[in-house]
């Protein structure tokens, strides 16, 4: 799907991959709707992207997914593309992960992503077309200590995406997943021993290259255009 003049809805849009995707989609002529919890960040982004639309909302809220889609349709008339990017990390051993931590990350990374997809389907189905890109993680392809719970949530996302792709194909809706490797973003939701971490200030002398949020955004829009099932980005940012 060519995104020029299309309506692209991006969750987790206030920073990192979400912000980069919103900016690039706008640059390429899309009408962009953005959702995140940080109002100040969204306000600045709307000023930078004339004609865009932003909602300060937590996607895990009971009525949030339906409300987000309803207000986007009110503003732009439809939703052509959903970039399901909102998510949070957890950097703790499986044996040390608390029940509430697990429930919280599952609620955001799995349940909210599923409900956002469910919310856009009726509008897309009524028009016989639409694209959903669910942003997963390369951690699902490895046994990396400290990422067990986080990777499990992303594996669940990939599985329901794969099944939804088959189920929704007759309706003209394409569901894809993107698996980025380590990306230079804030990603401050990652937690270790109760403390937030940031990937925005990673050193430049790591033993492998770290991809940028802008590169991942390029790949997201390329996936929208190609309709590929699942795109895996290698550690150097290249498609694997």
C-alpha to C-alpha distance for 105 and 126, rounded to whole angstroms: 32
Euclidean distance between the first and final Cα of the chain, in Å? 22
Judge whether 199 counts as a catalytic residue.
no
- Bridge partners, 191 (sequence order): 196
**Which of 150, 168, 185, 223 does the annotation list as catalytic?**
150
DSSP string, the chain: ---TT-EEEEESTTSHHHHHHHHHHHHTT-EEEEEES-HHHHHHHHHHSTT-EEEE--TTSTTHHHHHHHHHHHHHS---EEEE-------S-GGG--HHHHHHHHIIIIIIHHHHHHHHHHHHHHHT-EEEEEE--GGGGS--TT-HHHHHHHHHHHHHHHHHHHHHGGGTEEEEEEE--SEES--TT-EETTEE--STT--TT-SS--EEHHHHHHHHHHHHHH--SEEEB-TTSSB-
Compute the distance between CA of residue 219 and CA of residue 133 in angstroms, rounded to an integer.
11
- The residues annotated as belonging to the active site are 150
């Amino acid at each position: 799907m060519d995104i020029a003049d299309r309506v692209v809805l991006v969750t987790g849009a206030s920073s990192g991959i979400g912000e980069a995707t919103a900016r690039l989609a706008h640059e390429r002529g899309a009408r962009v709707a953005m959702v995140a919890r940080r109002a100040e960040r969204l306000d600045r982004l709307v000023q930078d992207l004339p004609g865009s639309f932003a909602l300060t909302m937590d996607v895990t809220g009971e009525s949030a997914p339906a409300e987000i889609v309803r207000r986007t349709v009110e503003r732009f008339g439809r939703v052509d593309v959903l970039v399901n990017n909102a998510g949070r990390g957890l950097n703790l051993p499986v044996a040390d992960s608390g029940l509430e931590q697990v429930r919280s990350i599952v609620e955001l990374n799995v349940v909210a992503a599923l409900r956002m997809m469910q919310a856009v389907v009726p509008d897309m189905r009524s028009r016989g077309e639409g694209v959903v890109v669910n942003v997963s993680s390369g951690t699902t392809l490895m046994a990396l200590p400290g990422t067990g719970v986080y990777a499990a949530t992303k594996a669940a996302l990939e599985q329901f995406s794969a099944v939804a792709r088959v189920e929704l194909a007759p309706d003209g809706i394409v569901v894809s997943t993107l698996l980025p490797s380590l990306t230079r973003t804030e990603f401050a939701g990652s937690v270790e021993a109760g403390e937030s971490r940031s990937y925005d200030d990673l050193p430049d002398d790591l033993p492998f290259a770290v991809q940028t949020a802008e590169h991942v955004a390029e790949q997201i829009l390329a996936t929208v255009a190609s309709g590929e099932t699942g795109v895996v980005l290698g550690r150097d940012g290249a498609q694997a």
